Amino acid sequence: MIPSFAFVGTIVFTLEIPLYIVYLLVGPAFWVLIWVLMGSSRRGMNLLGKTAGAIPEPGPRVTVIVPAKDEGERIRGCLSSILAQDYSRFSVLAVDDRSEDGTGRVMDEMAAGDSRLRVLHIEELPAGWTGKNNALYRAAARAEGEWLLFIDSDVILEPAALSTTLRVAIGRRYDLLSLILRHETRGVWEGAIVPLASTAIGAAHFIGLSNSDSNDYYFGNGQFMLFDRKKYDLIGGHEAVRTEFNEDMALVRVMKRAGLRPRIAWGERMGRVRMYDSLGSIMRGWSRIFYGSSSGSPWRSLLVMLVILVGGYSCLGALGWGIFAGVHHVGIWDGKPWLVLAGIHWVLMTVQIGVMYRWMGARAAYAAAFLVTGLFVLVILGWAVWMCFTGRVNWRGTKYSHKIEGSAGAAG
């Protein structure tokens, strides 16, 4: 027997006000809170704008290390931007990590024309290591600099990137300075999904709290990591995190636990990065990042999924109920306040996501499609959870099934 609308109305009369308050808190009010927290986070990460003295003369030597696997001609742009830095006391060590295309040839060709550039060719991957960690470990052992700058091969730096970050790191006595670079996105999939996934990973690790020395929150971005060489060696370098798929997060975690001073900063004016160039690579890459950033633990990804579903998609539930209540004249208000609150929820959510897109160099208009692109992020997170149970990762043509030796790390 189907309950009568009168019976439904009696139940709704009893529950509607408490449910309305709950929705107000988990929907619209949640995005007001996010607005406040994101503003505070951005201010706390605006390190490049803080006062710092000039680099002491003569400036310290810096070795820039760039690992690459099957980048082909793309590596030329990255290396050219590094060699164009306005700081003079640096050298570059490019690592050809088992590439099967012309990556090594391009590196050798560029090295022949610039004495500041050396090339290391790696042919084999030792058991128990991820490819990137092995490449960076072997390169760091050959580096001569007092500071080490690790740069991903898909990064294009602005000429002042090295001098600016080095000045701030020395002046503020940071042991590590890592940057969030501007996203270069082409097409709808890149423009809509990549910044949203980036925001989710930052929120999952409480990035806004990571620049404090008084807590255990941590965050690092392997696209740009400038280390004091002595502190890098002190924590054991990349050998200490050799099994990790997100060496950036793992290294910062180790530094925090050692009482050192790692920092993460907004660096959208210091360079840009195009992480992925297809929907498939976006899904595979970000699932690996979410899996690796928590060292194989599923709980952080599951929490982010819950937040997206409740904080984002609850507006659809409110909208649906508002329409139903209006058509069937059930509830106290015939659904009108639900429709209004759902609209406010969507506007607050869209504006805030749009602001975050702009911060990362993407088009704010893509935020209007959150209810669609959010589904892709949920799939990415679900894939990451699946990896936590299977332990199987395919990263840049190499299949891994080893167990990550680190722990997920406490967040405060």
Cα 24 to Cα 345: distance, rounded to the nearest angstrom: 8
- Amino acid at site 48: L
Is 222 buried (19+), middle (13-18) or exposed (0-12) by CB count in 10 A? buried
pLDDT of residue 294: 83
Rounded to 5°, angle at Cα 366 from 363 and 372: 160
pLDDT of residue 8: 56
Cα 40 to Cα 50: distance, rounded to the nearest angstrom: 15
Q: Are the CB atoms for 325 and 335 separated by under 8 Å? A: yes
Q: Is the peptide bond before 58 cis (omega within 30 degrees of 0)?
A: yes
In this structure, the number of other CB atoms found within 10 A of the CB of residue 358 comes to: 14
Cα 230 to Cα 11: distance, rounded to the nearest angstrom: 67
Strands, sheet with 147-151, edge to edge from the N-terminal-most edge strand: 117-122, 90-97, 62-68, 147-151, 224-228, 176-180, 262-266
pLDDT of residue 410: 32
Hey, where are the domains in the chain? Answer: 5-40+300-400, 50-181+221-275
Pairing verdict, β 182-183 and 262-266: unpaired
361 torsion bin: left (phi>0), alpha (psi -120 to 50), beta (else): left
Q: Name the CATH superfamily, with its identifier, for domain 50-181+221-275.
A: Spore Coat Polysaccharide Biosynthesis Protein SpsA; Chain A (3.90.550.10)
Q: What is the pTM of this model?
A: 0.89
pLDDT of residue 377: 97
pLDDT of residue 392: 83
Q: Are the CB atoms for 265 and 177 separated by under 8 Å? A: yes
**What pLDDT tens digit does each residue of the chain (412 aa) get?**
445 555 555 666 678 889 999 999 999 999 999 999 888 888 999 999 877 778 888 999 999 999 999 988 889 999 999 999 999 999 999 999 999 888 999 999 999 999 999 999 999 999 889 999 999 999 999 999 999 999 999 999 999 999 999 999 999 999 999 999 999 988 889 999 999 999 999 999 999 899 999 999 999 999 999 999 999 999 999 999 999 989 999 999 999 999 999 999 999 999 999 988 889 999 999 999 999 888 788 999 999 999 999 999 999 999 999 999 889 887 777 889 999 999 999 999 999 999 999 998 889 999 999 999 999 999 999 999 999 888 888 777 677 775 666 533 333 2
